[in-house]
């Protein structure tokens, strides 16, 4: 059983209210190291057997057509679990 | 300017309706390679200067206390952007 990780983030120019809310609360919890926070989504797609190039290609296409909204989001990474982002 | 990636996923035993909805729609779009899909969250935390161990420790703590709900979610990765997940 193989796993593919797909990561989707809001486009930089898009307002990210959730990220703003987080960066606003961090100092109240004593975290003052972070100047900005953005929040996106992470998908784990399971396939039978090891991950192949064909699986990765299908995951990349699914990322564009279903897992992300290309108008407001970027697919930042599609990789076999355990590989460098 | 350094960036830290924090990844949070629902605990395996937790129902993931969004993941179920995605895995249900994929075959209708011609994707039949995927046996399961789970959806979580990905955070990008920006820090001034390069990422240090202290930054990573703070991000790991923030991940537990603010970025995730420890009852239903696991923090699966805290890393400097560009490093292996």
pLDDT tens digits along B14-45? 988 888 999 999 999 999 999 999 999 999 99
Of A29, A37, A36, A33, nearest to B51 by C-alpha is: A33
Total structural domains within chain B: 1
**Residue in B9, B39, B44 nearest the CB of A9:** B44
CA A72 to chain B, closest CA, distance in angstroms equals 16
**Residue in A46, A83, A84 nearest the CB of B35:** A46
Q: Is the pLDDT of residue B49 over 80?
A: yes
Domain assignment present for B71 = yes
Domain assignment present for B40 = yes
Asked casually if ipTM beats, i.e. exceeds, 0.95, the reply is no
Contact flag B33-A47 (C-beta cutoff 8 Å): yes
Q: Can you give the CATH number for the domain in which B59 is found?
A: 3.30.1280.10
Residue A17 CA to residue A72 CA, distance in Å, equals 13
Domain assignment present for A18 = yes
Across the A/B interface, how many CB contacts are shorter than 8 Å?
A: 120
Range of the domain at A13: 2-80
Task: Please state, rounded to an integer, the average pLDDT across all residues of chain B.
Answer: 93
Residue A67 CA to residue A49 CA, distance in Å, equals 22
Q: Does A49 touch chain B (CB under 8 A)?
A: no
Domain assignment present for B85 = no
Determine which of B45, B48, B50, B63 to mutate to test the interface with A (most A C-beta atoms within 10 Å).
B45
DSSP state for residue A67 in the 8-state scheme: I
pLDDT band, very low/low/confident/very high, at A18 (cuts 50, 70, 90): confident
Q: How far is CA B17 from the centre of its chain?
A: 17
Q: For chain B, what is the total number of helices (H) and then of strands (E)?
A: 2, 3
Q: Is the pLDDT of residue A85 over 70?
A: no
Domain assignment present for A85 = no
């Amino acid at each position: 059983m193989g796993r593919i990780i797909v990561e989707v983030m809001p486009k930089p120019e898009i307002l990210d209210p959730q990220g703003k809310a987080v960066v606003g609360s961090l100092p109240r919890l004593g975290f003052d190291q972070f100047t900005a926070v953005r929040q996106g989504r992470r998908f784990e797609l399971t396939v039978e057997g090891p991950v192949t190039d064909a699986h990765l290609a299908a995951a990349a296409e699914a990322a564009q057509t279903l897992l992300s909204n290309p108008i407001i989001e970027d697919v930042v990474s599609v990789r076999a679990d355990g590989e460098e982002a």
